Structure 1
Amino acid sequence: MILCCGESLIDMLPRTASTGEPAFSPVAGGAVFNTAIALGRLGAPAGYFGGISTDLFGAILSEALTASRVDASLAPRSDRPTTLAFVTLTDGHAQYAFYDENTAGRMLTDANLPELGADIDALFFGGISLVSEPGADAYAALCAQAGDRVVMIDPNIRPSFIRDEARYRARLDAMLGRADIVKVSDEDMAWLGTAPAELLQGGVTLVLETRGAEGVVAYTAGGQRQVPAEVAEVIDTVGAGDTFNAGLLAGLHRAGLLSRTLLKDASLDDITPAVALGAKAAAVTVSRAGANPPWVEELEADA
């Protein structure tokens, strides 16, 4: 199983009611949640770990996970509220208002951490769940307990969310020091003050630098390779990076490379099909509204 560890939330998207009045529609989301959903749809053994509420919004999240074949049995439930993100659009640009105080996801603690069984091959971390305590500290503790399992991190840094930069940097540096796979954007690297070569020198096996329409560059100790983006008519980019993460992990699973030893020994030729699967899956997601990753049957039909 690939266990996705991090935030799930409800995006309250702007809509117009039948009466013509402005309204909001609840849609399941969250970066790590989206990656879990995409993994399940791509046929990989996917699991989700994150605090889920027993409220009506938590039920929406649980139902979405089940519908996409994601095992959420390790996710602790509580009667704390679900994180809500109200979205408003100004000239087509989205702005978010987060309601996250004392929520089921944010108030996760070390006491909620699961026992990692032999069935878990890899752990995925990322998104805003790595920012807000106490949940962020709990995820960092779980990362430190990964043992011989493959760890992937997509920091997806959003500076506006960070309240204690020194604490966040220390936490993230420790997690990156344990990571086997790291996906970063130009913006992430600029904020971190690092580069792919430095991450590799720090112990990371595979670094993926996303370049939007130019595709992805994969870096290993053996060199680098650019994998072009798939051509797509872009409706929006919501969930594209999350879907790429899932496609990469699903591809590595298919290739039998979700092992720290095998991944380290793999060549760029071995890894490239997984990167390409991530790019192909992400192209489908950007071609339709919202974070709506493809099912494996859709990709096979296009092959």
Structure 2
Amino acid sequence: MILCCGESLIDMLPRETTAGEPAFSPYAGGAVMNTAIALGRLGAPAGYFGGVSDDLFGKILTDTLSASRVDTSLCAFSSRPTTLAFVTLKDGHATYAFYDENTAGRMLSEDDIPALDAGTKALFFGGISLVSEPAADTYAAFCDRAGDRVVMIDPNIRPGFITDEPRYRARLSAMLKRADIVKISDEDMAWLGTSPEALLKDGTALVLVTRGADGVDMHSREGMKTVPAQKVTVVDTVGAGDTFNAGFLAGLDRNDMLSREKLAAAWLDDLVLAAELGVQAAAITVSRAGANPPWEDEL
């Protein structure tokens, strides 16, 4: 199983009732949850770990995960509320109001970290779940306990969410040093003051720099190789990076490359198929509205 560890939440999206009144409609969301869903739809053995409520919104989350063949048995369930993100649109731009204090996801503790069997090959971390304590510290501790499993991290930094920058930087730095695969953007690297070369020097086996329509640059100790993007008509880019992450991990799993030893010894040409699967899956996601990753038979 590839276990995705991080946030799941409810996006409350603006709608209008049949009577013409303004309303909000709940939709499952969260970057890490999107990655888990994309993995399951691509036929990979996918699991999700996070703090999930037993309220009606938590049921939306677990039902959505299960519908995409994602195992939720390792989740930490509680009666705390679900994180809600109310979205408002003005001139086509979205603004968010988050309700996250004392939620099931936010209050995840180290006592909630599950015991893993040998069937769990990889752990994926990322998103805003790495920002807010205590959950962020819990994910960092889980990363530190990964053992011989592959660890992939997509920091997906959102400076507006960060309230304790020194603590966040220290946490993320430690996690990146443990990561075997880092997917990162130019903006993330600029904010962190790092580079692919610096990440590789710290022990990462592979750095994936996504460049939108220009594809993805794969960096390893061998050098750099670019995998081009696929040309599509873009509807929106919501969930594109999350889908790429899933496609890359699914590709490694398909090609029997999902181990630390094989990644460390791999040539870049050995990893092209995984990157191409990530690019292909992401291209389908951006060609339709919302975070709606493709199913395996759509590829």
With the length of structure 2 as denominator, give the TM-score of the two structures. Answer: 0.99
* Structural mapping, 1:97-246, within 5 Å: 97-246=97-246
Separation in structure 2 between the aligned mates of residue 20 and residue 216 of structure 1, nearest angstrom = 44
Separation in structure 1 between the aligned mates of residue 286 and residue 24 of structure 2, nearest angstrom = 22
Counterpart in the other structure of 2:54: 54
Separation in structure 1 between the aligned mates of residue 13 and residue 233 of structure 2, nearest angstrom = 22
Secondary structure at 2:177's aligned position in 1?
Answer: helix
**Pairwise CA RMSD:** 0.6
Separation in structure 1 between the aligned mates of residue 188 and residue 240 of structure 2, nearest angstrom = 16
Structure 1 portions without partners, runs of 5+: none
Per-residue deviation, residues 154-197 of structure 1 (Å, max 9, x unmatched): 00000000000000000000000100000011110000000001
Counterpart in the other structure of 2:65: 65
Q: Which amino acid aligns with 2:187?
A: E
Structure 2 portions without partners, runs of 5+: none
**Aligned: 1:250 with 2:254:** no
Per-residue deviation, residues 107-158 of structure 1 (Å, max 9, x unmatched): 0000000002111000000000000000000000000000000000000000
Separation in structure 2 between the aligned mates of residue 186 and residue 70 of structure 1, nearest angstrom = 31
Q: Which amino acid aligns with 2:108?
A: L
Secondary structure at 1:182's aligned position in 2?
Answer: strand
Secondary structure at 2:199's aligned position in 1?
Answer: helix
Per-residue deviation, residues 194-231 of structure 1 (Å, max 9, x unmatched): 00011001100010001111111110111111111111
Counterpart in the other structure of 1:264: 264
Separation in structure 1 between the aligned mates of residue 215 and residue 87 of structure 2, nearest angstrom = 28
Give 1:60 shift.
Answer: 0.3
Separation in structure 1 between the aligned mates of residue 16 and residue 185 of structure 2, nearest angstrom = 35
Separation in structure 1 between the aligned mates of residue 141 and residue 78 of structure 2, nearest angstrom = 20
Counterpart in the other structure of 1:88: 88
Separation in structure 2 between the aligned mates of residue 180 and residue 76 of structure 1, nearest angstrom = 26
Separation in structure 2 between the aligned mates of residue 279 and residue 39 of structure 1, nearest angstrom = 14
Secondary structure at 1:115's aligned position in 2?
Answer: coil
Give 1:21 shift.
Answer: 1.5
Q: Which amino acid aligns with 2:214?
A: E
Counterpart in the other structure of 1:7: 7
Which contiguous aligned blocks of 4+ residues in structure 1 show a shift greater than 6 angstroms?
Answer: none
Separation in structure 1 between the aligned mates of residue 77 and residue 162 of structure 2, nearest angstrom = 26
Separation in structure 2 between the aligned mates of residue 170 and residue 293 of structure 1, nearest angstrom = 32
Separation in structure 1 between the aligned mates of residue 212 and residue 90 of structure 2, nearest angstrom = 23
Per-residue deviation, residues 279-302 of structure 1 (Å, max 9, x unmatched): 110011111111110000111xxx
Q: Which amino acid aligns with 2:42?
A: L
Secondary structure at 1:125's aligned position in 2?
Answer: strand
**Aligned: 1:31 with 2:31:** yes
Q: Which amino acid aligns with 1:82?
A: T
Separation in structure 1 between the aligned mates of residue 281 and residue 195 of structure 2, nearest angstrom = 26
Separation in structure 2 between the aligned mates of residue 220 and residue 75 of structure 1, nearest angstrom = 34
Separation in structure 2 between the aligned mates of residue 95 and residue 215 of structure 1, nearest angstrom = 28
Counterpart in the other structure of 1:76: 76
Give 1:64 shift.
Answer: 0.6
Separation in structure 2 between the aligned mates of residue 76 and residue 194 of structure 1, nearest angstrom = 34
